[in-house]
Structure 1
Amino acid sequence: MIERFRAVLNGKPVEAEIDSRALLIEAVRDCGARGARIGCLTGDCGACSIVLDGRLVKSCLVLAVSAEGSDIVTIEGSRHAIADELRDAFVACSGFQCGYCTSGMIMVAIDLLQANPSPTEADIRRAVSGNLCRCTGYEDIVRAIGQAAEALRNKCTGKAENGG
C-alpha cells in the first residue's frame, strides 16, 4: 500500500509517496538526503544513523510511516560547531578511507559530544561500538573524535590550539 510521508528533513518540510513497508532510511534518501547510507538493514552497521525527533536512531530499524510528522536530521543537516569540528578532525586524522561509514560515525560522535564534551577513549570506543568500519581499524576514528572534543573544549575555554 502506498502512503503519504511528511516530515521535516534537515529543517525543510518534505513529502513523498512511499510503500507502507518502507524503512525510514529509504524515505530519507528518496527525499534527497543521501548522506545516510543503506548498509546492513539489520541495525548492525550504523551507516544509517540519523537523529529522529532529537534521538539518535538507526534508520534501517524504523518504518517510515512511524516517523510521519517527525523532525529528522541527517549528516547534511548537522550544521553546528560539533559537526564542523568532527568533519575537520576526520580529515586531519584520516578517520575514513572508503567513507561509507563516515556519516554514521559522525552522527554517533555528535550525539556523544553533545552528551559528554570530555569523553575518554573508552567512552568514544563505546559510542562507536555500534557502527562498523571495514577500512580503518577504528584507531583513526577514535583519534579524530578525541581531537574534535579537545578542540571544542579549547574553543570554549579560549585556549589556543597549541595549548597557550
Structure 2
Amino acid sequence: MTYDNTQAMMAYDARKKSIALAYVLWFFLGGLGAHNFYLGRNGVAITQLVLMILGVLTAVLLVGLFLMAGVGIWVLIDAFIIPGTVERSNMALAAQFKSNASVTPPARFTAHDLSAEMDALATLRNSGAITEAEYEEKRQALLARLQ
C-alpha cells in the first residue's frame, strides 16, 4: 500500500457512515429526517422535515394528523432501507478515495515521514477512530516501506 493509499484509507475511515448512528438518529429524530441528513439524502430529509412541521402546525385542523401519520409510515419504511443506504454511501465514498489515490509512492520516505505517520496513527487509535488491529496493520505497512 502506498503512502497516498494509506492517507486515503485513513480519510475514508474518518468519513464513512455508521449504521448504528443512522439508527440512533432514526429512532430519536426520524420524523424530522435527521437520519436522512446524516446519510446525505438531503432532499428526502427536507421533505420529511417540512411535512412534519406542517403536520404539527395544522394538527388542530385534523389535516396535520394525516401528514404526521404519513411521515410516520415513511420513517418506518426508512428503518428497513438504512443498511442499504449506508452501504451505498460508503461504497461511493470508497470509490471517490480510490479514484483520487495515487498508485505511485512519494519520491523519498524518510524516518521523519515515518514518525509523523506513526504519530497520526497513534492519535487515531487513541481517539478510537481506528481499532488496535487496524492500527497494527497500518503500522506494519509503514514499517515495511522503510525496508
Q: Under TM normalisation by the shorter chain, which class is it? A: under 0.3
TM-score, length-normalised on structure 1? Answer: 0.25
Higher relative contact order (CA 8 A, sep 6+): 2
Larger Rg: 2
- Structure (1 or 2) with the greater strand fraction: 1
